[in-house]
Amino acid sequence: MISPGQDKTAHSPILRVVAIDDDEPHLKFVAAFLSQNQVEVFTSTDPNAGLRLIETKHPHLVVADLMMPGMTGMEILEKITNFDPSIEVVLLTGSYSTDSAVQAIQQGACDYLTKPLQGEKLQARIDSLLDELRGRQRCLELENALADSSQFAAMVGRSVPMLEMFRQIRRIAQHFRTVLVTGETGTGKELVAKALHQLSPVATGPFLACNCSTLVEGLAESELFGHVKGAFTGAVQDRIGLFEAANGGTVFLDEVGELSPAAQAKLLRVLQNQEIQRVGSTATRKTDARVIAATHRDLRSMIANLSFREDLFYRLAMVQIKVPSLAERKEDLPLLKRHFLKRFSELYNKPVHGLTRRAELALSRYPWPGNIRELENVLGNASMMTDNEEIDIGDLPEHIRASKVPASQPESKLVSLHEMEKAHALVVLESVQGNKVRAAELLGISRAKLYRILADSHPESAELD
């Protein structure tokens, strides 16, 4: 069955959708709602026939039932990912579970919805996906949309690692119970946590953060789980803890690796049973809070040293997000500088519009060990101190002015476009863990061309997947 789009204008892209469901009435319902958009809908009640449609029509979006005779939705998802990972996949299920939702998203699904579907919910969800797809097309064509398309929540970035992270946040925000955010100090882990909360179903609930490294020894459990009157010296009244206060919302545990063994044990119980026990009380209380933990430390090494619980690690790390360092996303530096200068210009009511060439050079060659936080502090201070419309080298801290390019990286080295192409392809390939299909998609080239580039640089990397 084919339902052509209702309004095919010359200026709006026509998007192709394949819907697969062995329940024909429900399939017709889905197709009817999809065809209200500027899309072409191809439907099938047979999974194998649906896969053939996918192979011939190359849709932008696939909507598939999770449980069908002959082939499950997860098997369809796997085949689609192998065929073309750029295709968005929405799975439908009559029995929702958080574990299966997270599994589907980790394997590449963009969403996971429960049947029977409400028309309005499906319409809103599909509209959102189609808007995202149209946005991708516009971003490829309109360079003047760079400023808007480079921001996600409170984060700024257009590099491959950041775009991949933004995509991961969008996918898991609707379904997570626990997330582990890792990354160096100053990379913006709390911004990631806030984005997850804001895009989650509990966005209207509280978002409460706790820096575990600042908790006073002996009072950490009271801060997190509360205490009753008389539990210890100074406990003059009952007090609720962070988890009770965040009920119906999100708890953000920054530097979770700093928790004491006793606090780790209690945290594990909260994650396992959604129960807390106040210090000094034997009673348990139910709590329903999503948990985002963050750390700059290597928790696996801490497990080996017996300073972090292995069972807690696996409970926290059901989903992991790694925030790239500034060194891993140096191409975002111009965007970040522009973003911070605009903010500080407005904050200080000063017409600071940019940086001189030598200030730009000093910032570009500095390694930024403190990441985004350090960059923000440097530009904030320079914007405050400068008397000019441009920040000059003298407005920057001494350690940045004195920074030199490492000997292995000459300050001036001319290379051919071919060499630059090879270097960029290898960076993209590394950022997607060697997935050549995904790398070719991000580079906007065919797999065959990617193989030729890799063969010219590192023959061993050009072997077929």
Q: Could you please state the CATH topology (level 3) that the domain comprising 156-322 is classified under.
A: Rossmann fold (3.40.50)
What region does 68 belong to: left with phi over 0, alpha with psi -120 to 50, or beta?
beta
Is the per-residue pLDDT at 82 higher than 80? no
Q: Does domain 2-141 bear CATH number 1.10.1740.10?
A: no
> pLDDT tier at 206 (50, 70, 90 boundaries)?
very high
pLDDT, the chain, mean: 81
How confident is the model at residue 462, as a pLDDT? 46
Tens-digit pLDDT profile for residues 150-193: 788 889 898 999 999 999 999 999 999 999 999 999 999 999 99
How confident is the model at residue 37, as a pLDDT? 61
Q: Could you please state the CATH topology (level 3) that the domain comprising 326-401 is classified under.
A: Helicase, Ruva Protein; domain 3 (1.10.8)
The two domains 2-141 and 417-462 share their CATH topology (first three levels equal): no
What is the percentage of the chain residues whose pLDDT exceeds 70? 83
Is the per-residue pLDDT at 113 higher than 60? yes
41 vs 21: CA distance, rounded Å: 13
Give domain limits for the chain. Answer: 2-141, 156-322, 326-401, 417-462
Q: Could you please state the CATH topology (level 3) that the domain comprising 417-462 is classified under.
A: Arc Repressor Mutant, subunit A (1.10.10)
- Cα 312–chain centre separation: 22
Mean pLDDT of 415-427: 68
How confident is the model at residue 255, as a pLDDT? 94
Is the per-residue pLDDT at 208 higher than 60? yes
Better-predicted residue by pLDDT, 394 or 141? 394
Better-predicted residue by pLDDT, 430 or 262? 262
Give the phi and the psi of residue 138 in degrees, each rounded to 5. -65, -40
Lowest mean pLDDT among 124-128, 257-261, 301-305: 124-128
What is the percentage of the chain residues whose pLDDT exceeds 90? 34
> pLDDT tier at 355 (50, 70, 90 boundaries)?
confident
Structure pTM? Answer: 0.59
Please classify residue 375 by burial: count the beta carbons closer than 10 Å to its beta carbon, then call 0-12 exposed, 13-18 middle and 19+ buried.
buried
- DSSP single-letter state for residue 204: T
283 vs 275: CA distance, rounded Å: 10
How confident is the model at residue 393, as a pLDDT? 85
> pLDDT tier at 328 (50, 70, 90 boundaries)?
very high
> pLDDT tier at 262 (50, 70, 90 boundaries)?
confident
How confident is the model at residue 461, as a pLDDT? 44
Is the per-residue pLDDT at 411 higher than 50? no
